[in-house]
Structure formats: structure tokens, C-alpha cells
Amino acid sequence: MKGKILMLFSLLIISLGSCESFLDLKPQGKTIPKTPEEYSAMIHQMIFDIENEKGGFIMQGTTDIIDTEAISDNLDANIYLGQEMIPFYVGQRLNQTIYSKLYQNIRNCNIILDGLGNDETDYGLKVRSAAHAIRGVCYYELIKHYCKAPLGGIWPELGMPIVDEFNMEARPIRSSYEKTVAFINDDFKTALSIYNLDDPVYMFTSDVVKAYQARLYFWTGQWQKVIDVASELLDSYPVLSRDDYSKMVLGNASFPNMIVRYKNVLSQNSQVSDRVYTALRNRPVSIDFINIFDSRERDIRYIESINRHRNPIKLFIGAIRSEEMLLMAAESHYYLDGKSQAIELLNLLRSKRISDYENITEQTIPNVTDNSVVMNDAMGRDLTPLARLIINERRKELFMEGSRFMDLKRLGSPESWVSRNGLAYTTKPFMYTWPIPSEDIELNPGIVQNEGYTEFIYN
């Protein structure tokens, strides 16, 4: 089923992804769910897959996070210390199957929404709300990976094929970026409007949807909307103290800064954990990352992230937390000329990470050696000291949480290279946007391939 858009699946394989239990609801044959309770089980199967490393990038699992970090500039792939178990440049990730996996989840959501119709029961409203949320999240991940990033506040032209119903005969071409963003936002707004979902069993509660709204607005440069939504969440989810931050990255407990925790720090699969941590021992942290810390000996993020051998020691966090909202709000304030508000938020965060902290002003921004490949902000302008500080604080706070590669994409998609076996492996700007699987284009020639992949297609 690899690479097939969901609406093209034949009736013979209406297996509902991994929800195989629904195929046996009737002894005499196979059928799709009919009641809200049965559709709810489809939602919980998708949530179960997220929590057990099978989420198809709805939310990143342990392996997704480490592989994404490995192709960013947080880890130094130029230093080869032994057995290679993780990728060293983005070209090794361009054959990912998340395109088909995300569309399979979209298919499941469409089956749920079509089947429930306008069910107004309490159970039905919960399931419909969660289905709209998950479909919106899937499309958000699709535009991040398979569409160009906005450049200088201008959106790209191409969006994604939009599928809003379970129709096996449809062959939609790529919609515009504007229409795709509107579709995602409508899903989030609908999820919030039809039910105030606060049951954590469904994972995609109203606050989680709002967090994804903030992420969508941030990715698409809708700065005031970012501030509005992120500020609302910050009122409910406080920034974690320095001591609690240390506990957060060392254990499995949830903390009041977490809007959602969807993954334990350590994988339940010991083989995954062993592979990941063995790989990290052979991939040191980059000097560039180390240099952006202006208070290494006092910053808990440095202490809990890097050991004396330059190994990354921060455990993986599968969560959406308040600190991300704060950093998005700070950067958004900066683009709207709210420098004082941005600095106020940065001081709040830094005061809870650096011991004996003294607030900074625009005139006292720490001077660090920053040799990052990033030269521009998200508006395409040269980095000012404040813009660089905001970006660096995000890089420090979200280290080993799988965000840096996409930050590089939205900050200009800078070209870089890695030396391996006497060869230079170059990450070209177009490679930050992944190719549409060739199988989908063969099935539907109307789908336009992304720039840079018309001659070299990754299956």
C-alpha cells in the first residue's frame, strides 16, 4: 500500500490501516464501524499507534526524533566514531513513507466523519472532534514536509491534495497552499467548536488543538494569531522551573508545563532504545551548538544535554509543552516590532534555566560565537542580535525534541555539507522539502512533483 493516496485504495483493502479488529465485527463478513463507540475505537487505535512508535509522523516517536536530529546541525556528522546507525545527511531520509502513512490516517478520519455524519450524541461529538483534530494535524505535517516553507512572509503556491471525504474514485491534484492552510485551520476550528474535549483518553483535547493552531500560525507566519493562542495556553501551562526541568528530562513523569505528553522518554521497545543510544555515542554534539550557550556552567539545559565527551545525554521528550509556546510568541513579537515583549518572554524562560540569572536588555544581549548556517530570520531578513538570541534559545530549549531541521527549513533552508569517506554530501535548499512519492505521481500524473526531484525520484 506504500505511496497510495487513501482514496485510491480498492474495496478489497478497506482494512482501515491497523484497525483490523473492525474487519470482524460480523461473523459472516467484513464491514466498517457503524456506532460512535466503534468509531471511537478507530481513534484510540491511532492514539495507540502514536504511543507505540507507529504513528506515521502524526507525532514523532523515538526513532523519528533521533533521525531528525541526526540530519540537523545539532549533531556533528563530520565526526565518525564507529558503527553508523543513524543518518548523517538529509538525502538518506528522502525515501520516507510518512506521505502514505499520513494519508492513511486521513482516510481513517474521513471514514469516521462520513460514518458519524452530524451525530450530536456526547460520544459522537467527542469522536468527531478528535477526528477533525487528527486530520488537521496530519495535513499540518504534510505541508511542513512536502510544501516549501513561506519565504519572507509570502506563501508558496503548491499545497497538498485535499481529501475531505472517503471517496475511492477521486484523484485530486495538489491544491493551493492557501487552500490547504485554510482546510487545516477549519479542521482545528471545527474540532474546537463542536465539543470542548478535555478527556485525555482522546489525547487531542481542546488545548492540544490550540497548540497545533499556534504551530500552524507560526509555520505560516501569522504572527499575531500565534501570540493570541500561545498566550492563552501560557496562562494555563506555566514555564517549568530549573529544578523541575532537570527532573523532566530524566524521568517519565508529566509536569504542569506539558500540554500533552504522548510518549514516554524511553521507548517501550528496548531494541529501539539500545539502537538509539548506541548510535548517539558515535555522534557528538556540534561545536556550533555548544558555542551558543552563554552560561554553560549555570544553564541547566547545557548540564542536562551534553556530557564531557560531547555526547548528547538529554532524553527524548515526546510532548508539546509551554516553553515552545513561549518561544513562538517571543519570535512572533519580534516580527511585529514588539522587541520589549520578546525580551520579556526570553528573560522569563532564561531565569528558569540559568542560575543566578540577571535580566538582559536589547543592549546587553550576550555575545556568543555563532557559526550557524542560519543567516536569516523567518522573514528573510539578516539576523539581528535579538533575532539570533531568540532562535538560539529555541535551539537550546528544544534540543533532542526533533524541531531543529524544520527550523532550518523555515529560516531560509541553508545549504550545508557533510564529509564522509572522502566525499562531500550536500544538503541543497530544495532537499528540505521532501519529494512526493513517485508511485503516487504514476497513479495520478496530475500531481506536480516538488522542485529538484523531476530527474531524481526517491521511491
pLDDT (tens digit, 9 = 90+) per residue, 361-370?
999 999 998 8
Higher pLDDT, 447 or 16: 447
Q: Which of 22-31, 113-122, 248-257, 278-287 has the lowest mean pLDDT?
A: 22-31
pTM for the complete prediction?
Answer: 0.90
Among residues 234, 210, 214, 261, the alpha carbon closest in space to that of 326 is found at 234
Is the pLDDT at 325 greater than 50? The verdict is: yes
Higher pLDDT, 86 or 295: 295
Tell me the percentage of the chain whose pLDDT exceeds 90. 66
The 10s digit of each residue's pLDDT in 381-428 is 999 999 999 999 999 999 999 999 999 999 999 999 999 888 999 999
Average pLDDT value for residue range 175-189? 98
Is the pLDDT at 145 greater than 90? The verdict is: yes
Averaged pLDDT of the chain: 87
Average pLDDT value for residue range 156-168? 92
- Split at pLDDT 50, 70, 90, the class of 4 is very low
* 57 in Cβ contact with 102 (< 8 Å): yes
Is the pLDDT at 29 greater than 90? The verdict is: no
Q: Which of 135-139, 171-175, 265-269, 330-334 has the lowest mean pLDDT?
A: 265-269
